[in-house]
Chain A
Amino acid sequence: GAVVSQHPSRVICKSGTSVKIECRSLDFQATTMFWYRQFPKQSLMLMATSNEGSKATYEQGVEKDKFLINHASLTLSTLTVTSAHPEDSSFYICSAALSGPWSEQYFGPGTRLTVT
């Protein structure tokens, strides 16, 4: 099956610094990538939808200037958390989808961000 990787798997950073998370589709080209955030014992909440070569579409309440998304190629999307704060500590998961009538979203393994 299709594989999506994320890097890093875990990161600890100090408050005020920026962190970049990479999401790669390893064996397929993803027309669309999604970024989700999951707090402990909570569901996945969509943050933004990213299409290759265009600006990301952010969900209501997600600050686009704080969570910078770049989808520069069909196999790579990045999420940069700028000026991170402790409340940004969460599990960030990306998914990638092919185009077509039905296309499964393949999820990455997630990145656990801890801001101290």
Chain B
Amino acid sequence: QKEVEQDPGPLSVPEGAIVSLNCTYSNSAFQYFMWYRQYSRKGPELLMYTYSSGNKEDGRFTAQVDKSSKYISLFIRDSQPSDSATYLCAMSEDSGNTPLVFGKGTRLSVIA
């Protein structure tokens, strides 16, 4: 079983839709949970990070972590064509200087 599972998609939604992206994981030691956005042939950029369980909101983006279920989610409200990218979840046991374990990424297309 892989440490982090993420449905690769592709996921195609109309502009304005609410998008739900999810990851599951098996390592209960993960404490830091991140979502990255990666455009084609570019490096990932951090969208949000969450420590332990709970919700975090930033503009149109909401990250949720449920450690009891080993399940994390990213919601995108009022999706825009510019949100079209690959979204990667990532996790680590410790902060900063520890390697991240990435999900495979979900390719999202928002159609105008």
Contacts and interface: CB of A to CB of B under 8 A. Distances in A.
A61 interface: no
Nearest to B6: A43
A79 to B, nearest CB: 14
Contacts of A84: none
Contacts of B44: 44, 93, 107
A105 B45 contact: no
Nearest to A102: B95
A31 interface: yes
- Interface hub of A4, A34, A44, A99 (most chain B Cβ within 10 A): A44
Interface residues of A, number: 31
Contact of B88 (A31, A44, A59): A44
A49 B101 CA distance: 13
A54 interface: no
Query: Which secondary structure characterizes the binding site on chain B?
Result: loop
A41 B99 contact: no
Contacts of A104: 46, 49, 96
Interface residues of B, number: 23
A31 B43 CA distance: 20
A63 to B, nearest CB: 18
Contact of B104 (A31, A34, A42, A97): A42
A98 interface: yes
Closest A-B pairs by Cβ, 5 of them: A103-B96, A107-B43, A32-B97, A43-B102, A43-B104
Interface of B: 6, 8, 32, 36, 41-46, 49, 51, 88, 95-97, 99-105
Interface of A: 4, 6, 31-32, 34, 41-46, 49, 59, 91, 93, 95, 97-110, 112
